[in-house]
Structure 1
């Protein structure tokens, strides 16, 4: 036995066995991670149902309210897993934020945006797409909203599982439209509202991409291509941060303070102008201290854009929480109001606990399932550095803020991804222009062959086509699924 233990072949066999156990342990850990997320998600949904039941147990329709609350929590989890990656992906991809810091900032800002400024878009989802009074009884209206919520949640979950980047806004709007048509025909749908929303789906990514490209052009022309890059950054970086502060302050004055005091548009703009000017002046010494000792090269600029990128990501998360919480709790708010009051024609008041479900659900979904998609958005569509990521985040923030201010449920996915593509396509165009100028100036020097230039495209075309296809199919797919679910509910339940 001793000889066998000392045999080198025996030791090699033992090492291989231990290696197998180590591999098995790693595989078990890898497989168990998704199960932990699913388990925590189920606990959150069940706890939501129990909490709602404890508050509404004496209500006339407690079962309906509890089921709707669980579906709202389920949808909020999917939004956190899918959409929030578009907000934090650029900052993480540019290495301005770690994954844990990005998740922490997003959780706080998403919740604040949902609770402070999320009411207007909820009203649009709950009543603006279909006319509740045209659907019929309050029971039929509740079943229609239930079908819309369930179909949207199922579609987003399926799309996320297969890796398709769909819009949660598209899913909910399609679900509400499909249920409304199934319940009362095409006349129940407010087609002018649908037309405005559909137009925003086209306008928002184009606008997001255009603004991002313009900011990148500004940074390149005024900072990167200057002889003294650091001196130029000391002038322009505080100004860019001031723009973000002005937009955020104006938006918060319009949305966040309306519960306390009415603020007109002109007053909100004045508040934003003052806050932007103060932030601009405050950032001048900060950027000056940061720039001390930096070399005059592009790599040094990444340090100076760290703070603007973090601020823009936080601003975008706030705006996203204000806008996309409607996807989770808009139908839920309509269900609760209809089941309690039975008055479908009056204005829908949004209970605070409904907004809390949306805010917490988005936060849990981001924490449990967000990192994978954050990495994809941050690095797999096009390469981002802090300057490019800042342009994407600021462009998306400004676009979402304007949309939420108008009460229009645009897709944050469209806006953010449009910004990423805008930056990437601008880089391609700018690179092509530089090659042409070099070729005209030095015709004897070799340039990239057409095949090589095609291979060096800075935006992955496969991602572009996949995203466009997903955007096209989401609304009809969610509408058809919602109509089928409504039919099953309406024919099965009394």
Structure 2
């Protein structure tokens, strides 16, 4: 074909169907981009629908009696807080299992939603004492109107802070958030003398105790796993002996943990009784794990990757148990102030103990599950994969350290945060990995001539992401002051609106 013929072909008008295809492709790309951008807005819209439904439900139950409008608004605040608890706090339970590929994201979300809801409804506080107890002096909030406004301010300020922390990718303690909210409202109501500073100092101490204990125990557990199994010449033979023992230890820890964090809401239980329950779980688990590990280990190659298969089932079970205990324990952070408001306006007394209405429990339980499903995946990925790389053995150590730390803290009477413990455990195994890698490099340097690396390259090879470390620590430190400040401002605004 000559150049002139080629030019004439190019100058001819393009067939209509070809033009149509090109335009349709452009429209498809625009629609795809619009859908991608709109995905976060869909989750926000569904969250707003849930808050509205909670408010409508509260309005139907409250009727048109005195204080019904306040109950409706407080229910909306509690639903908003429950959504944010689900979005932020549940990542600590499911993150390690997802990061270790023991659970898919979808499987983790479904399991967590079921276990969180079951924990909240089955063992989530038959009786809840006023959330202000031990944080502010009861006389500071003795006036019914002041007490109600303070609880509403605590709900809204805690929810706003958790929302911001989730957006920043920082897992924080929801318990500390609600404590800061109540303290801020108490200060706004009656000055700094209203706060129980002894109790607040114990909470501040937990900022250090929780992550250090969790990280130290997780690193120690990983060291034990290395010595007993990973570093042995025949890993599979060692695993057949020691993995059932490790599973039994985890069963003991979680049996005791669940008894302390969940069953205590159903009936009174001492630490000694909880330890006996844990011991029974350990013996049963060891008896079941022996044949299971023997069967699963047949035909496995003698390498670390094969060991991950043996730790997956206990890791999945531990994630489910942690979610159940979390639902039982932390649902009170969302519905405690709301239950106090309902009891106060119903003239049941806001300063003593009171039964939580079922409809209040449902708002908290469903709110945590809905928040997890809509907004949880981001923080689950961050906890499970972006702080340090987790496999089944490392995730096992994180879960085990969380359970043992809670048991130790209960025995010592220390107020610790399950969030701080779990995240501290993730950092602990990450720093342990760095130490093991550094030792390996030193040993290699003694036998092989390894060229020195630049400082930037050494930093890049760190196994724990320092940026996440600093962000999380900063968020932990300012949680109580931030929620207290916001709560004080909200209290002032609500009091002005009411007058």
Q: What TM-score does the superposition give when structure 1 sets the normalisation length?
A: 0.91
- Does the alignment pair 1:51 with 2:57? yes
What corresponds to 2:220 in structure 1?
A: 214
CA positional deviation for 1:282:
0.5
Could you tell me which residue of structure 2 aligns to residue 449 of structure 1? 453
Report if the CA contact (8 A) 1:115-1:355 is conserved: yes
Deviates more, 1:256-265 or 1:337-346: 256-265
Residue 486 (str. 1) matches residue 491 (str. 2): yes
- Give the C-alpha shift of residue 423 in structure 1: 0.7
Match of 2:337 in 1: 331
Change (3 A) 1:260 1:202: closer
Deviation of 1:50 after TM superposition, in Å, equals 1.9
Which residue of structure 2 aligns with residue 69 of structure 1? 75
- 1:160 CA displacement: 2.4
Residue of structure 2 equivalent to 1:353: 359
1:128 aligns to what SS in structure 2?
A: coil
Q: Is 1:227 the equivalent of 2:233?
A: yes
Q: What are the within-5 Å matches in structure 2 for residues 97-246 of structure 1?
A: 97-119=103-125, 123=129, 125-246=131-252
Specify which of 364, 389, 396 is matched with residue 370 of structure 2.
364
- Which segments of 5 or more consecutive residues in structure 2 lack a partner in the other structure? 1-8
- 1:398 deviation in Å? 3.5
Q: CA deviation at 1:365?
A: 0.4
1:248 aligns with 2:260: no
Q: How much does 1:117 deviate?
A: 3.7
- In structure 2, relative to structure 1, the CA distance for the partners of 1:253 and 1:317 (3 Å cut) is closer
Report the 3-state secondary structure (helix = DSSP H, G, I; strand = E; otherwise coil) of the residue aligned with 1:95. Answer: coil
Q: Is the 8 A contact 1:132 1:344 kept in 2?
A: no
- State whether residues 83 and 412 of structure 1, in contact with CA within 8 Å, keep that contact through their aligned partners in structure 2: no
What is the CA distance between 1:473 and its match in structure 2? 2.2
Structure 2 equivalent of residue 423 of structure 1: 429
2:155 and 2:39 map into 1 onto residues whose CA distance is: 27
TM superposition shift of 1:114: 2.3
CA contact 2:254–2:318 (8 Å) conserved in 1: no
For 1:314, the equivalent position in structure 2 comes to: 320
Moved more, 206-215 or 348-357: 348-357
Report the equivalent of 2:472.
Answer: 467
Shift of 1:295: 0.5
Distance in 2 between residues matched to 1:240 and 1:122, nearest whole Å: 36
Q: Alignment partner of 2:323: what SS?
A: helix
Contact 2:149 2:491 in 1 (8 A): yes
Q: Does 1:477 align with 2:482?
A: yes
Note the C-alpha offset of 1:464.
1.0
CA shift in 2, pair 1:411/1:120, >3 Å: farther
**8 Å contact 1:169–1:409 — kept in the other structure?**
no
| Paired residue total | 490
- The 3 A distance-change label for structure 1 pair 148 and 231 is same
Please name the residue that 2:4 is paired with: none
Deviation at residue 346 of structure 1 after TM alignment: 2.3
Q: Distance in 2 between matches of 1:225 and 1:476?
A: 46
CA distance in 2, matches of 1:245, 1:159: 33
Secondary structure of the structure 2 residue equivalent to 1:43? helix
1:144: how far off? Answer: 0.7
Per-residue Cα deviation, 1:240-292 (whole angstroms, up to 9, x for no partner): 22222223333444565556654443333222211211111101111111111
Give the C-alpha shift of residue 204 in structure 1: 0.7
Instruction: Specify the SS of the correspondent of 2:351.
Output: coil
Structure number with bigger Rg:
2
Q: Distance in 2 between matches of 1:409 and 1:138?
A: 29
Deviation per CA, 1:421-452: give whole Å up to 9, x if none. 1111111112222223343x43x532653634
User: For residue 26 of structure 2, what is the aligned residue in structure 1?
Assistant: 20
- Whether 1:266 aligns to 2:266 is no
Q: Secondary structure at the match of 1:341?
A: coil
Cα deviation for residue 95 of structure 1 reads: 1.1
Q: Using a 3 Å threshold, how does the CA distance of structure 1 residues 256 and 464 change in structure 2: closer, same or farther?
A: closer
Residue 112 (structure 1) shift:
2.5
> Once the 2 structures are TM-superposed, how far is the Cα of residue 57 of structure 1 from its aligned partner?
1.4
Q: 1 CA distance for matches of 2:60 and 2:180?
A: 32
Query: Are 2:406 and 1:391 aligned?
Result: no
State the TM-score, normalized to the length of structure 2: 0.90
| Aligned mate of 1:93, from 93, 99, 118 | 99
In the other structure, the counterpart of 2:5 is none
Residue 361 of structure 1: how far off its partner (Å): 0.5
Q: Is the 8 A contact 2:124 2:265 kept in 1?
A: no
Cα distance between partner residues in 2 of 1:259 and 1:318: 13
Higher alpha-carbon deviation: 111-120 or 75-84:
111-120
Determine the C-alpha separation between the residues in 2 that align with 1:117 and 1:255: 9
Matched with 1:293 is: 299
